[in-house]
Amino acid sequence: MPISIRKDVAYLLLKKINDTGQGMHEVRFNEVDLAGRELTPAEFLGHLDYLNQQDYINAEFTGNAYANQNDVPDFINPQEFDMRIANTYGAEDGPLPHLITFKKAELTEKGQKMLEKLEENPPEALKAGSSVPIATKDMPFLEKVMVKSGLADIFDARDITVVVYRVMRDLMTTEAADRVESELHKPAEVTDNKSLQLEIAQLWHDTNPIVGFLSRVRPPWQGPGIFKIDSDRFLFRVANEGGMPANANREQVVKAVFSATKDELSSERIQEIASWLPDQVRQLWEEA
């Protein structure tokens, strides 16, 4: 039977597409975007289908998501729907079960007006329902970073993780950094893509060999002077050296990397790293 279209869900989908770029651009939805909404995969795709068919958005889909009117899931036939969403949203056998990807999407003029209307008078349902924790325990490292940071691209998650680690190492002695690296020998991502076939330790060591070498021969940047890394400089470097997307929150991104990293470390290493971090960044580490 047809699904009921909810204003709170429509608002979140329109806002996500609007916030991730202008014109036709790639958009990835993950569990963070709709935490607390208690949607089934059918309801999620049904809302996207509705917005597309009613000309609130223009969208092109990839993978096993529907791509045109002839390929829209049949909500009356659950078997057909289940087959079509395999390897996309919520499928147990999917490579990224928490994601569905638009090849390209944009708001139409009609959708922009609807979003503005909803922003002026937000749906009451947005105020209800607590945030649902995301089960990231068994996710590969880079997927954890991507989900918890809100980043839309796993390559962004990789590149920004390298920079977060780089600034962390700049605060530490080589001996302390080596102790951290010794505990990070685990695949960062399970994938056939060679550019992502790295151990977490390789991300920590730095994918740039020159930078990795220099970080081993310089003293910790803890003393007075222009090279001292306080919390503001730490966050500034992460945002500017990592090519962080304009819509990303730098504190959230750093905290996501911290959280995924702490899952791989002993309590001794976690405490040791905390001792090197400046005030605000240390608080993000402890909260992660």
Last residue of a domain, one of 127, 157, 187: 127
Q: Contact 127/44 with Cβ under 8 angstroms?
A: no
Residues 152 and 277 in one domain: yes
Residues 35 and 101 in one domain: yes
- Is residue 133 one of the residues assigned to a domain? no
- Is residue 259 one of the residues assigned to a domain? yes
- Is residue 1 one of the residues assigned to a domain? no
Tens of pLDDT, residue by residue over 119-146, are 888 777 665 543 434 445 567 899 888 8
Q: Does the predicted TM-score (pTM) go above 0.75? A: no
C-beta atoms surrounding 29 within 10 Å? 21
Q: 187 by DSSP, 3-state: which?
A: strand
Largest Cα span, the chain: 68
d(CA 156, CA 193): 15
* Distance between first and last Cα of the chain: 42
Tens of pLDDT, residue by residue over 167-217, are 999 899 999 999 999 999 999 988 778 888 889 999 998 877 676 666 665
Domain span at residue 37 reads 7-127
Residues 121 and 148 in one domain: no
CA distances 287 to 256, 274, 283, Å, are 10, 11, 6
Tens of pLDDT, residue by residue over 75-101, are 323 332 222 332 333 333 333 334 455
Residues 153 and 123 in one domain: no
CATH of the domain at 80: 1.10.10
Last residue of a domain, one of 127, 150, 173: 127
